[in-house]
């Protein structure tokens, strides 16, 4: 019997040492298999003992450092979290240190099954990029927008959206927009157009997004999204060359409902365009705020910045002085950005001040700084520029307050365009 098999058999019955079959497989199947599987976006599979055991020390190292699974927020609790608990991380470390024993493989839970087609079944509307896009083997990341031809002759209420990269090995993330201006159609002459940061048209009405391991977006049953008749579906895709010249043709699936919304979410946009970061500054901060004119429930939050942002903090100061954290990311990574939906809506009363604080590190010690030596960084859409945005999705507790909230948000936007609504520290 090979030495590895002898060790596995021995440790299978050694008290105190976790085994793959009993302890490790459930963790990997729940939090890692969505990406680490045949055909997944990760470079190797972790569905079998043979796959996992030869990478036991790697798994222990990157999970103990919380590099994997990719989950940026530390608080509060969100739906579909990919964060491992301290106990789970300790289990993986003990397993690796104990020789990665197999346990009794016949008693291990079955590996998860992943559908070949759309995860939510046959869609009401399916669309994809008009042509295959050639991704080079080498070079910088590409940010490209494509019109996905679709015959949308009337308004629809969208209850769910799924997205499927044609080549998940090179698609880092993708965002689906609807364009009612016709701008994207004019710019996409056949193979898309460059669009880092924003899709290049206003209003930019986002429908959903895809990141590795993400689940299909499903709107609350009483809040479907409006897809405008004759709108263009626009895919913004971030490509990451992986050493091989390949092609991609990302597709989307939309699911409609006849149920009209009884509640309407509104976006509270916090942000700053007053970004001018000197080289070497390791703690440059921008802030913004908004005071709620009505009671709301916060249901989700979406942060955005580029490469040298380090810390993101969004919080609410209630009228009684209590502070509630809406989002805290202590080590921002542009490569793993996504929208987060709260596990439970957060009630915020009238008079609450919602505040964002983003901190940037433009020093040489920031490993994600794309400039060596560091250069001056200003606000802008390019990869070497920076941005600061924190979007909080809220629903008025009283539907009759929707107009008051809209008016206050409109006033904030006007002040921002005049330079009065965005500030820097």
List the chain domain ranges.
3-107, 125-257, 266-424
What pLDDT is attached to residue 423? Answer: 41
pLDDT at 425 over 50: no
Buried b (16+ CB within 10 A) or exposed e, 274-299: ebebeeebbebebbbebebbbbbbbb
Query: 75 and 325 in contact (C-beta within 8 Å)?
Result: yes
How many C-alpha atoms does 107 have within 13 Å on its Cβ side?
10
pLDDT at 9 over 80: no
Domains 125-257 and 266-424 alike in fold: yes
> What pTM does this model have?
0.84
State which CATH number among 2.60.120.310, 3.40.50.300, 3.40.640.10, 3.50.50.60 fits the domain covering 125-257.
2.60.120.310
What pLDDT is attached to residue 14? Answer: 65
The tokens describing 228, both together, are 């405008």
What pLDDT is attached to residue 130? Answer: 95
Q: Alpha helix locations (H) across 221-270? A: none
pLDDT at 299 over 80: yes
Please, which pLDDT band fits residue 173 given cuts at 50, 70 and 90?
confident
Higher pLDDT, 42 or 287: 287
What pLDDT is attached to residue 330? Answer: 96
Please, which pLDDT band fits residue 197 given cuts at 50, 70 and 90?
confident
* Alpha-carbon distances, residue 10 vs 49, 91, 103 (angstroms): 16, 18, 9
Class of domain 266-424: mainly beta
pLDDT at 296 over 90: yes
What pLDDT is attached to residue 140? Answer: 84
Higher pLDDT, 251 or 206: 251
Phi first, then psi, for residue 61 (nearest 5°) are -70, -50
> What percent of the chain stands above pLDDT 90?
75
pLDDT at 414 over 90: no
The tokens describing 22, both together, are 């009993």
CA gap 272, 357 in Å, rounded: 10
* Alpha-carbon distances, residue 394 vs 233, 317, 341 (angstroms): 25, 16, 11
Looking at every residue in the chain, the average pLDDT score rounds to 91
Residue range 73-84, pLDDT digits in tens:
998 899 889 899
């Amino acid at each position: 019997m090979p030495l590895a098999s002898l060790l596995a058999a021995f440790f299978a019955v050694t008290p105190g040492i976790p085994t793959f079959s009993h302890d490790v497989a459930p963790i990997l199947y729940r939090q890692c298999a969505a990406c680490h599987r045949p055909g997944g976006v990760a470079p190797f599979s972790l569905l079998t003992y043979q796959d996992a055991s030869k990478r036991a020390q790697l798994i222990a190292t990157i999970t103990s450092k919380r590099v994997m699974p990719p989950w940026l927020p530390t608080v509060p609790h969100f739906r579909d979290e990919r964060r491992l608990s301290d106990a789970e991380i300790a289990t993986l470390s003990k397993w690796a240190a104990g020789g990665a024993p197999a346990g009794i493989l016949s008693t291990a839970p079955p590996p998860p099954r992943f559908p070949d087609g759309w995860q939510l079944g046959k869609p009401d509307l399916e669309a994809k990029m008009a042509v295959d896009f050639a991704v080079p083997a080498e070079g910088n990341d590409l940010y490209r927008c494509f019109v996905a031809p679709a015959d949308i002759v009337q308004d629809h209420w969208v209850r769910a959206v799924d997205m499927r990269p044609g080549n998940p090995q090179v698609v880092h993330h993708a965002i689906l927009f609807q364009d009612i201006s016709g701008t994207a159609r004019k710019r996409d002459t056949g193979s898309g157009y460059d669009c880092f940061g924003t899709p290049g048209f206003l209003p930019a009405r986002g429908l959903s997004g895809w990141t590795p391991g993400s689940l299909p977006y499903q709107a609350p049953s009483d809040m479907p999204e409006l897809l405008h008749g004759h709108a263009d579906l626009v895919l913004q895709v971030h490509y990451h060359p992986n050493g091989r010249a390949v092609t991609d043709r990302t597709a989307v699936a939309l699911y409609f409902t006849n149920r009209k919304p009884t509640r309407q979410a509104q976006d509270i946009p916090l942000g700053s365009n007053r970004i001018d970061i000197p080289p070497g500054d390791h703690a440059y901060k921008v802030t913004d705020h908004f005071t709620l004119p009505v009671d709301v429930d916060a249901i989700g939050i979406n942060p955005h910045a580029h490469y040298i942002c380090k810390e993101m903090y969004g919080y609410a100061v209630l009228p009684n002085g209590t502070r509630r954290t809406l989002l805290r990311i202590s080590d921002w990574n542009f490569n793993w950005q996504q929208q987060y939906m709260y596990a439970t809506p957060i009630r915020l009363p009238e008079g609450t001040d919602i505040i964002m604080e983003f901190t940037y590190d433009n020093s040489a010690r920031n490993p994600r700084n794309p400039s060596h030596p560091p250069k001056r960084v200003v606000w802008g859409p390019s990869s070497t520029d920076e941005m600061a945005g924190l979007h909080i999705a809220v629903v008025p507790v009283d539907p009759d307050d929707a107009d008051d909230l809209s008016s206050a948000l409109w006033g904030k936007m006007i002040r921002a365009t005049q330079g009065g609504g965005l500030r820097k520290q």
